[in-house]
Amino acid sequence: MTRFEGKTALVTGGAKGIGAATAKRLASEGATVVVADFDESAAQETAQAIGGHAVRCDVTKREDVEAAVDAAASHGSLDLLVTCAGIIRDNLLFKMTEDDWDAVIDTHLKGTFHAARAAQKHMVEQRSGKMVLISSTSALGNRGQTNYSTAKAGLQGMCKTLAIELGPYNVNVNCVAPGFIETAMTRQTAERMGVPFEKFKEAVSEQVPLGRVGQPEDVAGLIAYLCSEDASYVSGQVVYVAGGPRI
Ligand code: NDP
């Protein structure tokens, strides 16, 4: 398929996990992909494998994000923005530090704000663009994630507001909210809980109607749809990709 021929995509947090699978999927369908990540060598590895470009970027830093957006736009246009950069700093409220709160809120909320604000300049001028923000089922509440669930719920509000503001300029903004996806992030959760990852996945799978945990490619497929012209009349939506409702 060549749905993204002639399009340029910027994927933050694109070096690993869901971001890397998204970068790969968009590139496989013809997009020129710029992988922006904290982890420069991993970003370069991912970009090289898909014939894309890498840029070191800490999404909490406005200058870094603006430089990444400019680097993407230098390929002729900035058509697609997918904001995957994310971290967790889980703890029950009484043990959660101010640093845990700030790091998570800054990465997810401020990071996405920086990226959306910088990208809209190009997209509004072009009168076209697609943004996909990454929320989570944790937006609905999850023990030990006051910081993360707040950020992920905030992103759903951001998505709807941006869809209202940018719709008149033919820019679609949607949110994808994954459930448990097998990445470094969920491995980190298992480690913190002291549970072997395979056992953790088995336990989670029992709570998922489709009977398995998700893979980054499951999320990338939905993101690619939302970035495509098939979704040209879809905006301001939150789409859950979690193997079914919680049971
Ligand atoms: P990964 O840890 O595999 O990938 C996240 C990437 O973001 C890493 O490469 C990480 O770099 C990078 N990153 C972290 N902080 C920054 C920053 N400040 N600036 C730039 N890049 C940064 O996680 P996932 O692929 O699992 O997560 C991707 C997104 O999906 C996140 O927003 C996450 O919250 C969300 N999500 C994930 C779910 C899951 O089950 N895995 C479920 C629901 C949502 P480094 O490794 O160096 O920190």
Our answer on whether the CB atom of 231 is closer than 6 Å to any ligand 1 atom is no
Same domain, 119 and 197: no
The pLDDT value given to residue 107: 98
Same domain, 98 and 172: yes
The pLDDT value given to residue 244: 97
Our answer on whether the CB atom of 114 is closer than 6 Å to any ligand 1 atom is no
**For the chain, percent of residues with pLDDT exceeding 70:** 100
What's the token pair of residue 237?
Answer: 């939506």
Mean pLDDT of 17-23: 98
Residue of 148, 169, 225, 240 marked catalytic: 148
* Distance set, CA 26 to CA 41, 46, 62, 84, 221 (Å): 21, 13, 25, 14, 9
- Alpha carbon of 13 to ligand 1 centroid (Å): 6
Same domain, 95 and 124: yes
Residue 21 in this model has a pLDDT that exceeds 80: yes
CA–CA distance, 15 with 45 (Å, rounded to integer): 8
CA–CA distance, 119 with 39 (Å, rounded to integer): 21
Which one is predicted more confidently, 1 or 115?
A: 115
At 182, phi and psi to the nearest 5? -75, 100
Residue 1 in this model has a pLDDT that exceeds 80: no
The pLDDT value given to residue 71: 98
In a domain, 19, yes or no: yes
Structural domain span for residue 149: 8-179+215-241
CA–CA distance, 124 with 92 (Å, rounded to integer): 41
What's the token pair of residue 48?
Answer: 């090289």
Residue 240 annotated among the catalytic residues of the structure: no
* Distance set, CA 74 to CA 27, 32, 144 (Å): 17, 11, 41
Same domain, 224 and 125: yes
Give per-residue pLDDT as tens, 54-110: 999 999 999 999 999 999 999 999 999 999 999 999 999 999 999 999 999 999 999
Same domain, 119 and 226: yes
Our answer on whether the CB atom of 40 is closer than 6 Å to any ligand 1 atom is no
- Alpha carbon of 88 to ligand 1 centroid (Å): 8
pTM: 0.98
- Rg of the chain, C-alpha, whole Å: 17
Give per-residue pLDDT as tens, 151-167: 999 999 999 999 999 99
Q: Is the alpha carbon torsion for 2, 16, 190, 88 positive or negative? A: negative
Same domain, 131 and 21: yes
Mean pLDDT of 213-234: 98
In a domain, 246, yes or no: no
- Alpha carbon of 198 to ligand 1 centroid (Å): 20
Work out which ligand 1 atom sits closest to the CA atom of 85.
7
Same domain, 127 and 235: yes
- Of 130, 147, 127, residue with least CA distance to 139: 147
Our answer on whether the CB atom of 174 is closer than 6 Å to any ligand 1 atom is no
- Alpha carbon of 168 to ligand 1 centroid (Å): 31
The pLDDT value given to residue 247: 77
Our answer on whether the CB atom of 57 is closer than 6 Å to any ligand 1 atom is yes
